[in-house]
Amino acid sequence: MAGMVALQSSFTSLYFSSSSFICQRLSSSVCLPPVKSIEKPFPIAAKLKRWERKECKPNSLPLLHKLHVKVGDTVKVITGHDKGKIGDVTEVIRHNSKVIVKDINLKTKHVKSKQEGESGQIVKVEAPIHSSNVMLYSVEKQVASRVGHKTLDNGKRVRYLVKTGEIIDSAENWKRLQKEKEKSKEEKEEEEEEEAAPASSSSSS
């Protein structure tokens, strides 16, 4: 009986009230051990832009790049699916350093009919290629070469082929270029007249 009384008295001494822990800090023996933080690399995924803004002048116009080729130059393609082909430069696009070469890098284009009753057409159009994919070509020596610059005795600065020494910016080449321009212009006018002739005949009937 005496043992039961002693056990009951020990339980009463262990009773804690809810107010006994207010504004009190637990002892270090009761506190939980600190959790160690593990540093893991956090990968950052960035989506690439589909386009890049081009460098512009203060007036918002694109910068014009200096190219080693000009309109009328004979060039050889040194890379790509048209590698080894030779043609003349018909147009130079300086803001993105691209050129258009005759009968090279042809792309298929679907042209809609302009008038009722006419069917559409599928034509081949020369697409521009980067100027770094072409080299100047000597028709006489049949060799591709890098381009160099030098000043003549009369003070004129011209381009020449490094391998052959042939001057590109000569008066003869300029005359040849002018003749080719006039010839292509006449051919274009003739094609336009031929296209306009059947249209006028169909309207009169």
pLDDT in tens, 120-165: 888 888 999 999 999 999 988 899 999 998 888 888 888 999 999 9
Q: Which of 186, 92, 173, 85 is nearest to 130 (CA)?
A: 92
Predicted pLDDT at 6: 66
Q: State residue 23 phi and psi, 5-degree precision.
A: 55, 30
Q: Domain coordinates of the chain in residue numbers?
A: 74-198
For 79-123, the pLDDT digits (tens) are 999 999 999 999 999 888 999 999 999 999 888 887 777 788 888
Q: What architecture is the 74-198 domain classified under in CATH?
A: Roll (2.30)
**CA quadruple 167, 168, 172, 175: dihedral, nearest 10:** -160
Selected residue with higher pLDDT from 59 and 203: 59
Q: What CA–CA distance (Å, rounded) separates 8 from 6?
A: 5
pLDDT averaged over every residue in the chain: 77
For 71-87, the pLDDT digits (tens) are 889 999 999 999 999 99
Q: Which of 108, 129, 132 is nearest to 120 (CA)?
A: 108
Predicted pLDDT at 48: 55
Q: What is the number of alpha carbons within 13 Å of residue 173 lying toward its C-beta?
A: 16
For residue 30, pLDDT over 70 is answered with no
Neighbours of 62 (CB within 10 A): 12
